[in-house]
Amino acid sequence: MTPFRMHPVHGTRRFLSRLGICVSAVVVSSILAGGTAWAPPHGPPTPPKPPTGVTATPGNRNATVAWSEAAFSVYGYYPTGYVATAYVHRSAVATCTTSGLHCTLTGLRNRLTYKVKVRTTFLGRDFVPKESQPSIKVLVTPAS
């Protein structure tokens, strides 16, 4: 009994076409040769850039955070909103979410220094909200 042999490209194409899958010979030979899977020429979509120019204005038990609009990346997603988070050490203590360019972090303790990071939110390929990398940290100390 002779083993079944399939031509590396044409046999695979024939097999895939029987399954109703249309694949070019170049893609099949590339995958069979151990090449990477096909991707669009521009690459996969990337998240939007983080906001820039982040500033924080201290208040009494709060801080108003403002930033410049985040730019979408080439072949990427558009920003849908922003999340500002105040941290003490590595613990998040206050968060505000907005689609604008500023928000107020409330419930902060006076005379305590917070690190504030702002992230850009966007909808991913599967339409699930995601976040891009945070902006540069800004230090703020609410005044009494």
What is the structure's pLDDT at 11? 54
The domain containing residue 102 runs over which residues? 52-140
What is the structure's pLDDT at 31? 53
* Residue whose pair of structure tokens reads 């003490």 in the numeric block: 88
Q: What is the mean pLDDT of the chain?
A: 77
Residue 1 pLDDT exceeds 70: no
Query: CA-CA distances (angstroms) from residue 41 to 27, 37, 44, 48, 89?
Result: 14, 12, 9, 19, 42
Return the CATH number at 87: 2.60.40.10
Q: Compare 57 and 31 and report the one with higher pLDDT.
A: 57
Spatial CB neighbours of 10, under 8 Å, sequence gap ≥ 6: 25
Q: How far apart are CA 7 and CA 65, in angstroms?
A: 63
How many structural domains does the chain have? 2
Q: What is the pLDDT of residues 41-90, one digit of tens each?
A: 566 677 888 888 899 999 999 999 999 988 777 667 788 899 999 999 88
